[in-house]
Amino acid sequence: MTSAPQRFSDTADGYAATMAPSLRPIAAEVVRRAALEPGERVLDVGTGTGIAAASARGAGRHVTGIDAAPGMLAIARAEVDGVTFEEMDFMRLRFADGAFDVLVAAHSLLFAADRVAALTEWRRVTEPGGRLSLSVPGPTSATPTALYAAIYDRHGIDTSARYPIPETLAAWAREAGWTDVETDADASAAIVLRDEAAFRTWRAIGSRDGATADYTPAQHEALTEELLAATPRDAAGRLRIPFGAIYLNARR
């Protein structure tokens, strides 16, 4: 079975073409909410193609981005200068305790099987008094799960536990030892795809998900056609898939 980092590497180009542009404003908002100061040490966890790390640059800050997928990091290194990128599992960070002033994570936490354990490890590498700023998709009413619920049900795809509510996200952070925890939600965030070809690329990225990993090509095509037919378009004719963003800020 292909490992998760390898699956992300294999779909990195498609991710860069479809997901990254839509996540860029969310990543920028995560960084804005971090209220970075000049000269701070910043860690971008689950950096992907480096979009949050790119927003964190400047004012003498030392920015590091880590990801377990070498294909993602290859794109980040080619497109984002002034950042140190390292291949690393975000559950087992190879950094000393308190190595960073600020930790940011744009839509990466939910890829952890144990979210509290991930937040605990992220807290370890943040200095006392340091800050956390992150986002996850949600609330559920503003995600693909809501838009495609009937289709997912017909195809036997269980999405019941995919996205947390803000209160659950805050509880994870507090259990991991973070303090001054605050959450906020933006239901307007969306994945915007220019045409049907981009939609199919987005679906190909999504097929790495465990719910459809064993689908045959015919099953994937049937699901894609149904999802495509149900996806709204904006005034410019672009496909618009609700995604949402729940933001969390906390202190070490």
- Provide the pLDDT for residue 207: 55
pTM to 2 decimal places: 0.93
Which domain does 100 fall in, by range? 4-140+160-191+244-251
Residue 237 lies in a domain: no
Residue 145 lies in a domain: no
- Provide the pLDDT for residue 156: 85
Residue 41 lies in a domain: yes
- Provide the pLDDT for residue 216: 87
Q: Give the rounded distance of the alpha carbon of 235 from its chain centre.
A: 27
Residue 187 lies in a domain: yes
Residue 232 lies in a domain: no
CATH number reported for the structural domain that contains residue 129 in this entry: 3.40.50.150
Residue 146 lies in a domain: no
Residue 167 lies in a domain: yes
Domain tally, the chain: 1
Residue 172 lies in a domain: yes
pLDDT in tens, the chain (252 residues): 567 788 889 889 999 999 999 999 999 999 999 999 999 999 999 999 999 999 999 999 999 999 999 999 999 999 999 999 999 999 999 999 999 999 999 999 999 999 999 999 999 999 999 999 999 999 888 999 999 999 999 988 887 768 899 999 999 999 999 999 999 999 999 999 999 999 999 988 875 556 777 788 898 899 999 999 999 999 999 999 999 999 999 999
